Amino acid sequence: MELNSNTRMLELRNILFEETDELHELSMQEIIDKLKLTFGTEASFDARTLKRDMEILEDTGFEVMKHTGRFGKVYYSFQDRVFETYQLRLINDALLSAKFITEKEKKELIEKTKQLTSKHIAKTLPDPMLFSQSANDDYQLVKLSIDHVHRAISERNVLHYQYGKYNIKKEFQYHRDGNTYEVEPYALIWQNDFYYLIGRFKETDEMRHYRLDRMRNIRISEEKFRRQDFNIQAYVNQSFHMFAGEDVWVKIEFDESLVNVVLDRFGHDVSIQPSGSDSFILSTKAKMSTGLVNWILTWGRKAKVISPEALVEQVQEEVEAIYDRYK
């Protein structure tokens, strides 16, 4: 790139936009070094000229923040982003949860959203595991928590917070008498219409998940943690989906009106075979669980378990209990 006043100022703007943010600043010498990466090591830059360039940029609405550090050293940064970090996270989550967008398009769109912030923040925006869309009931509370949790995950800081839920009077009650939870945060996911933090509860050294809208007084501690090998996807499948138990082969007969429900639940590769003129049989491996029984009962007379016998008996017992309840 040819060096002149215009290209110098444009590159200066790019450096400040891409390389700096609220947590990352550059000294004048660092800026000059980065300019030389573009224009060549033989190029010469005067600090006074670059300061005038920054003043011109500010006149155009590109605000350059100045911070005096130790020993009077001045650092520069650009912080006035169109989107805050939590807003970019919301955009990414919405894109990934939209079933009508192809995987290729999702990746392209997400890469474009990363260009709306600094490279440092963009690196902390991994593809989250999202599986459904919904509105956020407690948006004002959750949006403030997203930044804290997101930052703690990316910087591997232990989170401190209180946790609870509402009682029948719609009063929020803290768990554990309001004592603080200390959790090593691993992932923030959007599942079953809510944001969840997945992390290791330090007191018992076990992985747990917490609804973000039920977390209060979140604080990022100074304590760092070493992330252990852990399969987040397997945890999500076991803890958030209806399956949690022993793997068994099941056969369930469904009314043909539920074919899309079954495909949405088990995927398009699952085995389904016609059974009569108005039904089909699903054959798949699933985990024996109360959640599986409840899901089957959701469809009433439109679903009937064929095998295994143990699952048939569990469904029968639940149906009888429901009948007794209504007698």
Domain boundaries, the chain: 5-77, 128-236, 242-326
127 has a pLDDT exceeding 60? no
The confidence score (pLDDT) of residue 126 equals 59
Q: Does the domain spanning 5-77 belong to CATH 3.40.50.1100?
A: no
Q: Which long-range contacts (CB under 8 A, 24 or more apart) does 55-62 make?
A: 56/9, 57/9, 57/12, 57/13, 57/16, 62/13, 62/16
137 has a pLDDT exceeding 70? no
Task: State mean pLDDT over 165-177.
Answer: 86
Place of tokens 């609870």: 164
What is the Cα–Cα distance from 161 to 165, expressed in whole angstroms? Answer: 14
Length of the chain: 327
pLDDT band at 227 (very low <50, low <70, confident <90, very high): very high
| SS3 labels along 21-58 | ECCECEEHHHHHHHHHHHHCCCCCCCHHHHHHHHHHHH
Place of tokens 């200066």: 12
Class at the top of the CATH hierarchy for domain 128-236: mainly beta
Q: What is the DSSP secondary structure assignment for residue 300, as one 8-state letter?
A: G
Q: What is the DSSP string of 51-95?
A: HHHHHHHHHTT-PPEEEE-GGG-EEEE----SS-HHHHHHHHHHH
The confidence score (pLDDT) of residue 267 equals 74
314 has a pLDDT exceeding 50? yes
Would the pTM of this model clear 0.85, i.e. be above it? no
What amino acid occupies position 171?
E
The two three-digit tokens of residue 205, written as one number: 């050294």
**Cβ(136)–Cβ(180) below 8 Å:** no
pLDDT band at 25 (very low <50, low <70, confident <90, very high): very high
Lowest mean pLDDT, pick from 38-52, 144-158, 162-176, 227-241: 227-241
The dihedrals phi and psi of 270, each to the nearest 5 degrees, come to -70, 150
**Cβ(254)–Cβ(262) below 8 Å:** yes
The two three-digit tokens of residue 178, written as one number: 């309001």
8 has a pLDDT exceeding 80? yes
pLDDT > 70: percent of the chain = 90
**What kind of fold does domain 242-326 have according to CATH?**
Alpha-Beta Plaits (3.30.70)
Could you give the C-alpha distances from 257 to 85, 281, 300, in angstroms and in order? 43, 12, 13
Lowest mean pLDDT, pick from 45-54, 73-82, 155-164, 263-272: 263-272
The confidence score (pLDDT) of residue 238 equals 66
140 has a pLDDT exceeding 70? no
Better-predicted residue by pLDDT, 122 or 313: 313
